[in-house]
Amino acid sequence: MKIAFVGGFGVAETMRVDVAPGPGETVTGGVLAVGPGGKASNQAVQALRLGEEALLISAVGRDSAAQIGRDLWVAEGVDDRGVISLDESTMVGFIIVDSQGENRISLAPGALDSATPYSCASALDLIGECDVVVVSFELNPAVGFEALRRSRDAGKLTVCNTAPAIEIPEDVLSCIDYLVPNESEARAIAEIMGWGVDSIESIAETFRAHGVRNVIITLGGEGVFFCSEKEASRLGSLTPSQVVDTTGAGDSFIGALAVSIGSGREIHDAIRFAMAAASLAVEQQEVIPSLPRLSRVEARLAEVMV
């Protein structure tokens, strides 16, 4: 199975502090780490570590930051033929992680904002080689929208990770098999779309009323809310042994979910598999080192089944 990940790559500059600063406040004593990031790139690496092939569709600059990505993709085995180079800079993300492992992220998107469906046309043609297509919106959303439309026309299984939260056209909503926002993103999209609903349950049902087939809303430590034509239910979270850094948890969840639903797992089992991966990802510092391999995910699942 091959999975296409359409979205962002960037360099993450992560500052670890005891307490994150408030407005107008300066704190010191932090420790800085610089490494590869970006949702689609992280998700592709997670899928590969779980045993599947991964194609990345993204945009970078012609700079040293882009080379960090190229080196990562070679090392991990990511197919980067869908990564285009533009004159703008590669995305940079500034991340503050506090002593509780909670993070705050700000992005300078650079080349990701400048990419268009036209400049990415040859990259999008590669979707035809894939079985599952995962779209997030760090890359210019117009590219993601086109990827979802093409994927639906080609009969591909589609997953949309709505990060960051944006307005999504009605015709694009109907192209999505699995919509996966976190709770804050779900609420933000409902407000942007003017739906006038605020409970998780009503937001999920409204997404479905607008054409989305399945909605999975991640709730952090509270687990997941899942809504389909057949059911609406909550699944409790899997408790990590410790919480060191939550930055990569969402990308680990999405990468593992794409692998599990693409391989035909029953949806509850697929979500549990993704939660197991995410629970492992929070136990280690920095995103790429934290993304677990298949043996560790299977071991975590075995632990919770005892």
pLDDT value at position 169? 97
**Average pLDDT score over residue span 24-38:** 90
pLDDT over 70 at 51, yes or no:
yes
SS3 content of the chain, % helix, strand, coil (to 5): 40, 25, 35
pTM for the whole structure = 0.92
- Assign 194 a pLDDT band (cuts: 50, 70, 90): very high
Distance from the first to the final alpha carbon of the chain: 30
pLDDT over 90 at 33, yes or no:
no
Bridge partners (DSSP) of residue 91 are 10
**Average pLDDT score over residue span 180-200:** 93
Alpha-carbon distances of 212 from 171, 205, 266, rounded to whole Å: 10, 9, 18
Chain mean pLDDT for the chain: 94
**Of 248, 262, 261, nearest to 291 (Cα)?**
248
**Average pLDDT score over residue span 200-224:** 95
Residues designated as active site:
251
**Average pLDDT score over residue span 185-200:** 92
pLDDT value at position 306? 56
pLDDT value at position 197? 81
* Single-letter amino acid code for the residue at 49: R
The pairing of strands 79-85 and 53-60 is: parallel
Whose tokens are 């085995």? That residue is 77
**Average pLDDT score over residue span 190-218:** 95
Token reading at 62: 């012609």
**Average pLDDT score over residue span 262-282:** 95
**Average pLDDT score over residue span 248-273:** 96
- Assign 286 a pLDDT band (cuts: 50, 70, 90): confident
